[in-house]
Amino acid sequence: MLQGNQPDLFTGLPNRAPVVVAWGAGTDSTAMILEMLSRGDPIDLVMFADTGDEHPRTYAFIEFFLPWLKDRDVQAEVVRYQPSTFKNWPPYKSLSENCLTNGTLPSIAFGFSSCSQKWKAAPQHTFLKSWEPAQRTWAAGGKVQKLIGYDCSPRDNIRYRQVAALDDPLYSFRYPLREWGWARDACDKRILAEGFPLHPGKSSCMMCTAVKPEELHDAPVWALRRIVLMEARAAPRLTSCEGLWRKAIKGTRTGQPRPGSMTAYIRQQELLKSADIDRIIEMAPKALVRFQDAQASLPVQNRTPLADWLQLFDALDERIFDNPDKPDRYLSTLHQAISEHKADPAEARQIAA
Ligand code: SF4
């Protein structure tokens, strides 16, 4: 087993750049950390940026791995984007709640990367701005070194080529897996060799365009229902893409066949009952808009968080579909339902599982 091997670097001026890991909580970056520590290569900070939409398996691994790191004297932090202005919207806390509020999809579904910038990169940078070793390094004109877990697979070769020439004024970048010539199988083996009770697997938001069709078979029912809701809520604004997978792939030379919409795949594969999908599409986006409209004029501190509404949605509570003429009656119905759901979201999700 690894020992705590972090040197005490920050007594006086740093004699080297602080080394931080942008940990994705997946196989590659986990294997990179393990091997770095085994080799005695310093890591001063591991950060995980939580969008709020990771697979439950990933959250379980995070709960295991962060204390494991701390036991080895590696500072480990979960950072989050903190929304602070909600305009006339209900307060939201996660990327998916942000999308549901706006009636859109994560930007990656449109071929952009602002979801990752906003929910992954920005909160890490915000944390580092108040991290003393980084402050001191930057004040002295130096750069913080970031370790990136790109491996030697064809896909990561492309990602690497896209960023290799970047010259950032605050960060230098190192790609240890590529230095070692490691691809995914080597990373898998490295984690297995550590003898952990859990394996991180692949990590990403559960509704990310990068999710492969077979991964949806492993998603909990509540997550599949939320995917259907997200696509249905965004549907009126979708002109350039068909859904979370953007465009259908026929599966000739461009990879595995799949529709552009995850909902279509979930229906095809009978991962949810067709009647449940139809009901979500028909009722839930309207109910969600009504929920938002009903509290738009309230002071933000009096608004009901979107997470509460989603808890009822996960729990199949029919009261979110209530269709009163008066919006304030809808809100009071919801508040009654929310107060009855004393269970935490995890319990509510089990009801839908
Ligand atoms: S995992 Fe996908 S959806 Fe989530 S922030 Fe990254 S690119 Fe966006």
End-to-end CA distance of the chain: 38
- Verify that 181 and 273 share a domain, yes or no: no
| Gap from CA of 310 to ligand 1 centroid (Å) | 20
Check pocket membership of 116 for ligand 1, CB cut-off 6 A.
yes
- Verify that 240 and 184 share a domain, yes or no: no
CA of 107, closest atom in ligand 1: 8
CA of 116, closest atom in ligand 1: 5
- Verify that 37 and 179 share a domain, yes or no: yes
Report yes or no: 202 and 210 within 8 Å, Cβ to Cβ: no
* 95, 124, 227, 246, best to mutate for ligand 1 pocket (most atoms within 8 Å of CB): 95
Kindly report the protein residue whose alpha carbon is nearest to atom 5 of ligand 1: 116
Please tell me the pTM assigned to this model: 0.90
Check pocket membership of 210 for ligand 1, CB cut-off 6 A.
yes
Check pocket membership of 145 for ligand 1, CB cut-off 6 A.
no
Is residue 203 a part of any domain in this protein?
no
CA of 204, closest atom in ligand 1: 1
Check pocket membership of 105 for ligand 1, CB cut-off 6 A.
no
Residue 129 sits in a domain whose CATH number is 3.40.50.620
Is residue 147 a part of any domain in this protein?
yes
CA of 207, closest atom in ligand 1: 3
Is residue 207 a part of any domain in this protein?
no
| Gap from CA of 80 to ligand 1 centroid (Å) | 14
Is residue 340 a part of any domain in this protein?
yes
Kindly report the protein residue whose alpha carbon is nearest to atom 7 of ligand 1: 116
pLDDT digits (tens, 9 = 90+) for 289-333: 989 998 888 999 999 999 999 999 998 888 888 766 666 677 788
Output the tens digit of pLDDT for each of the chain's 353 residues: 333 444 445 544 457 899 999 999 999 999 999 999 999 999 999 999 999 999 999 999 999 999 999 999 999 999 999 998 888 899 999 999 999 999 999 999 999 999 999 999 999 999 999 999 999 999 999 999 999 999 999 999 999 999 988 899 999 999 999 999 999 999 999 999 999 998 898 899 999 999 999 999 999 999 999 999 999 999 999 988 999 999 999 876 667 789 999 999 999 999 999 999 999 999 889 999 989 998 888 999 999 999 999 999 998 888 888 766 666 677 788 888 888 875 555 555 554 44
Kindly report the protein residue whose alpha carbon is nearest to atom 3 of ligand 1: 208
Check pocket membership of 204 for ligand 1, CB cut-off 6 A.
yes
The one-letter amino acid code at 190 reads R
- Verify that 283 and 255 share a domain, yes or no: yes
Report yes or no: 44 and 133 within 8 Å, Cβ to Cβ: yes
The one-letter amino acid code at 234 reads A
* 116, 202, 203, best to mutate for ligand 1 pocket (most atoms within 8 Å of CB): 116
- Verify that 245 and 181 share a domain, yes or no: no
pLDDT digits (tens, 9 = 90+) for 255-276: 778 999 999 999 999 999 999 9
- Verify that 123 and 267 share a domain, yes or no: no
- Verify that 175 and 222 share a domain, yes or no: no
Q: How far is CA 258 from CA 48, 234, 243, 266, in A?
A: 31, 20, 12, 11
Is residue 56 a part of any domain in this protein?
yes
Helices 95-102 and 306-314 cross at an angle (nearest 10°) of: 100
Check pocket membership of 208 for ligand 1, CB cut-off 6 A.
yes
Please say which residue of 162, 194, 226 terminates a domain.
194
- Verify that 228 and 177 share a domain, yes or no: no
Check pocket membership of 96 for ligand 1, CB cut-off 6 A.
no
- Verify that 186 and 45 share a domain, yes or no: yes
- Verify that 119 and 222 share a domain, yes or no: no
Structural domain total, the chain = 2
Is residue 222 a part of any domain in this protein?
yes
Please say which residue of 194, 227, 251 terminates a domain.
194
* 105, 155, 208, best to mutate for ligand 1 pocket (most atoms within 8 Å of CB): 208
Report yes or no: 302 and 338 within 8 Å, Cβ to Cβ: no
- Verify that 169 and 224 share a domain, yes or no: no
User: The domain containing residue 164 runs over which residues?
Assistant: 7-194
- Verify that 263 and 293 share a domain, yes or no: yes
Is residue 205 a part of any domain in this protein?
no
CA of 53, closest atom in ligand 1: 4
Q: What pLDDT is attached to residue 353?
A: 45
Is residue 208 a part of any domain in this protein?
no
Please say which residue of 194, 227, 262 terminates a domain.
194
